[in-house]
Structure 1
């Protein structure tokens, strides 16, 4: 089966090992036509046996309802435009470089201001660089002249999107963090700030703990404490957060165990069926967002399909799942973070940790925020609020660094 066309960047010369190459995404039209044909011919199951009329918070008891999926598949086939997203990525500025033998894709949105701070923003699963395309302009060139500014770098994780798919084991979160340091230094950013959630939060934590000489500070929405910590001294609210995280891993994390133990098996379905890929991701966007009935109460339908299409058109359903095989439950319990750290916990995220637990690992917290609303994808659910919070956290970090 032929590979999808990913880029148009004929240089004529082989790139040097440390070079950065401009990347212009252009998926072949035949791939888009194939997607539409598969959507037309998709075989779907019967309606779930817990059917309830919308709106109802328990419509998703057996996960993605048939009526919701049929509507979204029809929209994906007839009205959605991949080319709009492709154009947006090219407008921001896309590049690729080879690190440790693997091609890494990233967006680079530099600020025109000389006082800008380098910032790397790392996504997780089932997200992608689509999580940040709506905020990088405001971070790099804010509407308010008094706002802090940032040179934004948004890499695609190995095996995701337009980054290469590893052909051997070993691309763990530790190795990815090391690659991010190489990437930033290659761009001329010897010291930088970092943000991330989900796997991006793990990688951001490792950056702060393993590479303090290169990190100005970190901001994360994932801030786990030390395994085995006692819950005895927690308040009722703090205990509820901790027990909810425990319940999530006990009862709601089958997807993670599947991808950690059998990524190749689920990968066949994800790479062969666009409806399967859509449902696999939509399920998480529905459960992990701050909504009552549908993720589209807060997340733009086209942006979610941008995210799903990126997985589908680059055929990375299996390779992206392997990050769980490489790194599931592998964050070093002895890792400590001593660079300035900002932490934001969103009320509908899947893992919320009380400060009293997080501060055992993150020993220099300069800002702790429990947001009023939002879930696992805050940059997509409430981008304006997210940017405000991110700026506040990074400002606290930069202020601490100057004192």
Structure 2
């Protein structure tokens, strides 16, 4: 018998590949999550920038410091100049001046899923940057990492393999029979003021099996369990962001049922655009099927976000024009362009919004920041339009 040109790959060889991959991952995590190197937010704002963020003049800030409504600013002992304000201090200014943008208690919490069943489209990038943009604005944000790959968890400074216990600290216990009654057990503070996180790790994948086992017995429990969990914590937040897995599984379906708005990231290339079209078709069919089992779900908005756009590629421009023609009312106007700045930050498990130093004074950084602010500002406006308490302000701003 003639021997095959390529010998088969045995399980033993697969194990060797797995072990080598684990070694590489371990070294990467050792570098990025070194002992004693917990992530901190090093952003500092000048009094002029703080005044802009707070919506008051720098004179009013200085007056409030002088009369004791605000603490005295930190100063460099050598020069006597202000060393800058932290985000927490800016939020305290907002509290004193009454400019925190929180929704009113009677406004519905925004539960926003950034969802596409295809991987690599920019889901986690969008979630992390949107969360931090909203935190910079003063909103109370919760990020729920529903993806066992845990990219979002890593960006927020946690080592999923070490810092997160799947038995106690992810969504997984909540989905088990007899699990916790609320999601409070899983909420964790982050180094970003105003952002709480429900983390994920590889153990969360077991929730898919847990769901499958329960589906036959209790369909309504499976479909609406995550929504019930979010109901238990939503009063503490203005915006709850969900980063679901890139697959059509039970977790993804639970996210669709729990959300009241959806942003769909879609790069303008043939493969990703085709996948997004299939996603929309599948989502429509799936939601109709779920509606028959557990009641219909309405959404405040569903928007498609063009991501990883490269203006230098004619194919990208052509497909973006097609997306605008096919979805004339469903596309976000802003586009998240392909940027080395985002890639470089992600390589260090960071975002563009937390970069400091000389790198933030480059033209590349300013352009990237402008793209991000445009996208996130447009989503922020959509969110505010769902809150009746913001309508008067939006009218004054000429936005409603």
Q: Same fold (TM over 0.5)?
A: no
Larger radius of gyration: 2
Normalising to structure 1: TM-score of the pair? 0.34
Normalising to structure 2: TM-score of the pair? 0.34
